[in-house]
Amino acid sequence: MKKFNTLILAAVTLFSLGSATVFAKGQPGSGPSPYTDCGIGAALFKDTHWAAISSNVIWDLGSTALTSATASPETCSGNKVVAAEFINRTYDNLIEETAQGSGQHITAMLNIFGCNSNVQPAIISEARTQVSKELSSDNYSTKTRIQKAESFYFNINSLVDGKYSQSCSA
């Protein structure tokens, strides 16, 4: 009976969370729905809202979907969603591999961003510089893990959307 009650509570929570809207620029409903438009659920189940909601809640209780929707609603589509999720899950590995200049996680991340293999070493080199500055900043140690992962995402995304936009498809 206890499991059944927990299941009912989870279902009610899922559907109420799925109908949540983000307040962007002070206007209710003007941003993406965190549980249907953001996160890994939206990337995997673009047109099946109940599946997107379920996936986001099962994955990490929807915390990364909610963070994406509120902090960076422009990331709530396509490969960038998958990349943000990947960065969040593998942040510690990515920081270590960025410092080393290579590794399977950083290569996988750049592949998710759709970056050609011939530009990946240059992106990693620039990312190393950015990460070095980030790690040596006074406020780095006070950031939460999600804030660190978010900062890493924005650094990589700025390279992918900027200087390397012709070589990356995300």
Does residue 120 contact residue 152 with C-beta atoms inside 8 Å? Answer: no
Work out the pLDDT band at 163, boundaries 50, 70, 90: very high
- When the pLDDT of each residue in the chain is averaged and rounded to a whole number, the result is 75
- Specify whether 117 is located in the same domain as 96: yes
Tell me the CA end-to-end span of the chain in Å, nearest whole number.
Answer: 46
Whole-number Å distance between alpha carbons of 76 and 69: 7
pLDDT-derived band at 104, boundaries 50, 70, 90: very high
The answer as to whether 102 is a domain residue is: yes
The reply to whether 83 and 154 lie within a common domain is yes
Q: Verify that 91 and 64 share a domain, yes or no.
A: no
Neighbours of 3 (CB within 10 A): 7
Domain that holds residue 86: 77-161
- Indicate whether 68 and 128 sit together in one domain: no
Residues 17 and 93 in one domain: no
What are the tens digits of pLDDT across the range 42-73?
666 666 777 777 766 776 666 666 666 666 66
The predicted structure's pLDDT at residue 106: 95
| Residue 84 and residue 156 share a domain | yes
72-91 pLDDT, tens digit per residue, is 666 566 677 788 888 988 99
Entry pTM? 0.58
62 and 83 together in one domain = no
- Number of domains observed in the structure of the chain: 2
